[in-house]
A and B are shown apart, each in its own frame.
Chain A
Amino acid sequence: MLIAVLLPLGLFLFPLWKITLEAPQYPTPLGMYIHINDFTDANPHDIKNINIMNHYVGMKYIPEAIPEFKIFPIGIIITTVIGLIIAFKGNYKWFLFWFILMMVLSAAGLYDFYLWEHDYGHDLDPKAIMKFTNPDGSIMGFQPPLFGSKDILNFTAHSYPQLGSLFLGLGIAGSFVAHLIGKKNHKKALRM
């Protein structure tokens, strides 16, 4: 359980997610890493160049900082502290509690990410230089995929989790395993 609790701290070392944009004019694709507390360039100046591309269709600049960059790290620290207390004091039932807590928070985080992406891709400047419509006449959005790959005009966008997410996922899974092992041991102890 201790290991499971500490694994999500890897989020402070490794990026959570990566969005990559490929196009013929970019033999080296543009890319952006999403960290728990930051956006960073995959290659120097990538975010600046993504912004320049996106302003043609009226997308907002990728912000220097978003509120989540403050909330998420605090959330991870709080859940880690809770997890540590559970690891030392709690039993397997509490392990399950932490597992569920983390699942809910992660899902909330993903939903938040989706909302941001949706807003980023759809809240377009009405004076956008180029306006595109879908076949049904509605205004085309430029939301990158939450997970997977998607063609957006001349770009192919890829969105995949990174090492940080793996640490988080392993931590969450680890807590569930800890719960199962704890439960098994508990039953064994009961039988004896």
Chain B
Amino acid sequence: MKNILKSMVALLSILVAFTSCNNTSNQNAGALSGSAAEKVYVNPGEHDEFYAFISGGFSGQLSVYGLPSGRLFKVIPVFSQDAEKAYGYNEETKPMLNTSHGFVPWDDSHHPDISQTNGVIDGRWVFINGNNTPRIAKIDLSTFETTEIIEVPNSAGNHSSSFVTENTEYVVAGTRFSVPIPQKDMPIKDYKGNFKGALSFISVDPEHGHMDIKFQLIMPGFDYDLSHPGRGKSHGWFFFSTYNTEEASTLMEVNASQNDKDFIAAVNWKKIEEYVNNGGGTMMAANYAHNVYDESTHTATSTMKKEVLTVNPLDVPGAVYLMPTPKSPHGCDVDPTGEYIVGSGKLSANLTVHSFTKMLAAIENESFAGDAYGIPIIDFEASLAGVVEQPGLGPLHTEFDGKGNAYTTFFISSEVVKWKLGTWEVVDRQPCYYSVGHLMIPGGNSQKPFGKYVVAMNKITKDRYLPTGPEVTQSAQLYDISGDKMELLLDFPTVGEPHYAAGCPADLIKPRSKKLFKLEENNHPYATKNEADTKVVREGKDVHVYMTTIRSHFSPDNIEGIKVGDKVYFHITNLEQDYDVPHGVSMIGANTSELLIMPGQTETFVWEPKQVGVWPFYCTDFCSALHQEMQGYVRVSAANSSTPLRWSLGEDIE
């Protein structure tokens, strides 16, 4: 009986202990959620600590957010037309979307990466890949505008892109789908051994950032999924994850998942660069667009390039090796020291980590386990640094905090897992809502991560926000990673599917952000720099209107002598030289978008009037107190009329 009493007392005290534990943890949760709000709250008028550039996925664009607030500042049009900003609609930016397939007004934007100097993010440009019609774009972070797009020939599903090397020597674009190179009419079933995968190294001019394909490495016909640069000790190498080493071409979900191990391809690009610089490689006929936007003329030009230098990996011994990595790896991520290459075998229960040092030793010792089409396969154990055992299900992507920790996303178990480099032990895990894809730590793909926050980008949202019919918002989540344990701070909606993001401290970019374009530096061929020079010029059926805007009028605002069947080019220069005073313009019935013209800029839209009448146009951006009065008329006469061409401002046309 005594014993029973004793054990009763013991049991009670344990229960009490548990209850009080529960109480404290509940209180903690309350306190924590309160501090979470404080951690993401940015006072009105104050600025966020970080910029985050989040890919727009199937929107084709790149959106700019502030962290930790999760506030959206701008959607930069990159691969898709944007009627709001006239991108791809006005005459100046239409060439940006030119390709070898003609004008392609959309793409699937995936992996932004910010330029680097000495392995550290420099905040000059951000690069992003168009996945569908293979292209790489460069966005200038002084204007937050897309200033260059280069098409990638011999590529399809431009997915293992667009990651930069340590000094932005190259932005790298790898093909996800292997294809016949060059393209030709052949049976699909003959894929194996005949299709090839092109890995493109696009050089970046250190001063202007102009891109040029230096060489394409023509690899076996696998699917090249993701890639990352070596850094520090592994600078000069690039790593690509592969799947479908089976080289299947149908029912891929089954047929490309048969091999126990696929590969991470290690490419010594320095060696290939040297080979190419010494005249190596084969120049091959090609056809791809190179589109460059000139900030001084405010105009893009598109040039078709006709050849590309290709390199057969077998011609450069010691340049390419394959590291076996379990189960169709997705992410292929290099830690800040450059020593560890983390392969996220998405069908594997474990994470495989390769050691760069061991890889070099294995190459030295020729610890090979055969070859694939002549490319040496390194013995699995020889390059293996360690395995993170059973951290979760469906690992996809890893980034680093610079303090010896790695953070990996798990799609199937829907969580972020924090683990330690070197000991491979899991130290924390936090759920994601739901099914996270990539994650991003500002500077996480560089030698110097800013390990304060991680942004997880989810593939599924379901019930997390107010519903909006069958199609719900896409979503990202912000975690505080400054402590031992991760803490979920914020959910925020994103534009399109956020595949990947790049972030950096705001101070790197903010001071360089332009406030306006200097009018005296405007070299647009149709620019009008003062009202006295405005005019209307007829050249046959083409009519060029040299128009200006300044608060609060167009000059001219009355135009007569336009005829049905004319093609009227409105070249509009915004004469303002004040911060945040754009003017917009739209013409009734114009089969195009509005223009939104920044101070000092010239843009052009085309109007082909089809009906006789007097047709108004107006300013679309609330520019000033007299914005509503900022309007004008164009008189359109019959095609055979003799109405003289006249224009005016502030007086009646005689």
Chain A residues close to B by CB (< 8 Å): 28, 44-45, 48-49, 52, 56, 129-130
Contacts and interface: CB of A to CB of B under 8 A. Distances in A.
A64 B578 CA distance: 19
Contacts of B579: 28
A52 B579 CA distance: 13
B626 A52 contact: no
Interface in B545-565: 550-551
A155 to B, nearest CB: 14
Interface string B612-626: 000000000000011
16 contacts: A28-B579, A44-B577, A45-B577, A45-B578, A48-B577, A48-B578, A49-B577, A49-B578, A52-B550, A52-B551, A52-B576, A52-B578, A56-B625, A56-B626, A129-B626, A130-B625
B635 to A, nearest CB: 25
Contacts of A129: 626
B287 to A, nearest CB: 45
Contacts of B550: 52
A24 to B, nearest CB: 11
A2 B579 CA distance: 47
A52 B577 CA distance: 10
Contacts of B551: 52
Main secondary structure of the interface of B (DSSP, over half): loop
Contacts of A49: 577-578
A130 B625 CA distance: 10
Contacts of A130: 625
Nearest to B575: A48
Interface bin, chain B? under 10
B480 to A, nearest CB: 31
Contacts of B576: 52
Nearest to B599: A45
A44 B551 CA distance: 18
A45 B600 CA distance: 12
Contacts of A45: 577-578
Interface in B563-594: 576-579
A45 B579 CA distance: 10
Main secondary structure of the interface of A (DSSP, over half): loop
Most buried by A among B576, B579, B626: B579
Nearest to A130: B625
A31 to B, nearest CB: 13
Interface in B514-568: 550-551
A39 B576 CA distance: 20
A129 B551 CA distance: 12
A49 B599 CA distance: 12
Nearest to B516: A45
A48 B577 CA distance: 8
A61 to B, nearest CB: 12
A28 B576 CA distance: 17
Contacts of B625: 56, 130
A34 B550 CA distance: 26
A-B CB proximity, top 3 nearest: A45-B577, A49-B578, A52-B551
B581 to A, nearest CB: 9
A25 to B, nearest CB: 9
A156 B439 CA distance: 49
Most buried by A among B577, B578, B579, B625: B578
Nearest to A30: B578
Contacts of A52: 550-551, 576, 578
A79 to B, nearest CB: 38
B522 to A, nearest CB: 14
Nearest to A56: B625
Given A49-B578, A52-B550, 14 more contacts: A28-B579, A44-B577, A45-B577, A45-B578, A48-B577, A48-B578, A49-B577, A52-B551, A52-B576, A52-B578, A56-B625, A56-B626, A129-B626, A130-B625
A56 B579 CA distance: 19
A45 B550 CA distance: 14
A48 B600 CA distance: 13
A129 to B, nearest CB: 6
A157 B273 CA distance: 63
A51 to B, nearest CB: 10
Contacts of B577: 44-45, 48-49
B208 to A, nearest CB: 25
Interface in B50-86: none
A91 B307 CA distance: 89
Nearest to A127: B650
A55 to B, nearest CB: 8
A129 B626 CA distance: 9
Contacts of B578: 45, 48-49, 52
Interface string B284-296: 0000000000000
A45 B575 CA distance: 11
A52 B625 CA distance: 12
A164 to B, nearest CB: 27
A81 to B, nearest CB: 39
Contacts of A48: 577-578
A28 B579 CA distance: 10
A157 B577 CA distance: 21
A110 B521 CA distance: 39
A84 to B, nearest CB: 42
B576 to A, nearest CB: 8
A5 B392 CA distance: 85
A52 B552 CA distance: 9
Most buried by B among A44, A45, A56, A130: A45
A23 to B, nearest CB: 12
A49 B550 CA distance: 11
B540 to A, nearest CB: 38
A130 B624 CA distance: 13
A129 B624 CA distance: 13
Nearest to B519: A45
A44 B576 CA distance: 12
Nearest to B551: A52
B492 to A, nearest CB: 27
Most buried by B among A44, A49, A52, A130: A52
A26 to B, nearest CB: 9
A49 B575 CA distance: 11
A131 to B, nearest CB: 14
A4 to B, nearest CB: 42
Interface string B128-157: 000000000000000000000000000000
A56 B541 CA distance: 39
